[in-house]
Amino acid sequence: MATRSRLDPKTLIEDFLEYLRVQRSVAENTLSSYEADLRQFLDFLQSETSESSLRPEEIDEAFVRRFLDRLATQKISLRSIQRKMTALRGFFRFMVLRGWMTKSPVEDIKTPRLETSLPQVFSVSEVESLLAAPNRTTNLGKRDSAMLELMYSCGLRVTELLDLELPSIQWEEGSLLVRGKRDKERWVPMGRPAQAALRDYIESARPELMKGRYHDSVFVNNRGLRLTRQGYWKILKAYATKLAFQKHLHPHILRHSFASHMLERGADLRSIQELLGHSDIATTQIYTQVNANVLKREYQKYHPRMGRAEETV
């Protein structure tokens, strides 16, 4: 065990997050979530112990289980509890790695299982309505059109879209250089409508939106600053509300729709995996379940004998 008998919680969290950022290349959005989860846990520990600093060996399994019980009384969602447990597992592994603990107190705690939920997708007609919704006579409408076209044409994650920079666009090849999770880069082809919308935005709308600023971020707000994830989410929800879509929205719904529609039209699962930037094909295979459910609904809706009692023989 390290010679330091007590540890400052704030410094400890900062050390752990820096380790994830530098050694594991964890995305900033994930780091922010982990930070909030860990601060919540350490605040709970301090409320239980009335200490401003921590003796790592005092953090045992019982503390963690009481923390989980507290979350249960607050009606925290199972998905959020799973994320908090993931943060705690990584945090305590880090503590063991640094020699501040001999054993992780969550080692024998099983995380509640969450049923796999299939991603919500738009139908082809809904996508077409969404892509036609922006007013392309305005600067913001041209920007929105380019964003939505790229999301559906390329199957991008929201962060990948917003991280795009001007040098990432390969006009001659009609493709984008996308930086995905853990800074893994991949080339993604653009469809012609997406290329046209992107060029129109960059040439005629972005210069005016920049308000004299200079940076390489492709998508900006009306003050010329890099568009945020929250900004994109507001834009998507506004168009979905305008079109009276009844789907449960998710920021990645166009990415999911891209994969589902590609698979539905016969694209190879491995090709979709590469386009999406999935490291494991098992992640991509969820879209086969989406399309199986669609086929089942279509069968039940259109087969002439569905809904009728079978004839006796």
- 270 classed as catalytic: no
Catalytic pick among 181, 186, 226, 250: 181
Residues linked to residue 165 through DSSP beta bridges, in sequence order: 217
Running DSSP on this structure, what letter comes out for residue 279?
S
What string of H, E and C letters represents the secondary structure of 203-270? HHHHHHHCCCCCCCECCECCCCCECCHHHHHHHHHHHHHHCCCCCCCCCCHHHHHHHHHHHHCCCCHH
Catalytic pick among 84, 142, 252, 261: 252
> What distance in Å separates the CA atoms of residue 310 and residue 138, rounded to the nearest whole number?
58
Catalytic pick among 157, 206, 256, 261: 157
Catalytic pick among 143, 206, 255, 261: 255
Catalytic pick among 34, 152, 201, 287: 287
- Cβ-count burial of 73 within 10 angstroms (0-12 exposed, 13-18 middle, 19+ buried)? exposed
Which tokens is 312 given?
Answer: 């006796």
- 278 classed as catalytic: yes
- 181 classed as catalytic: yes
Quickly list H helices, the chain: 9-23, 28-49, 61-73, 78-97, 124-132, 139-154, 158-162, 192-200, 206-209, 229-242, 253-264, 269-276, 281-284, 286-302
Catalytic pick among 89, 93, 179, 278: 278
- 252 classed as catalytic: yes
Catalytic residue annotation: 157, 181, 252, 255, 278, 287
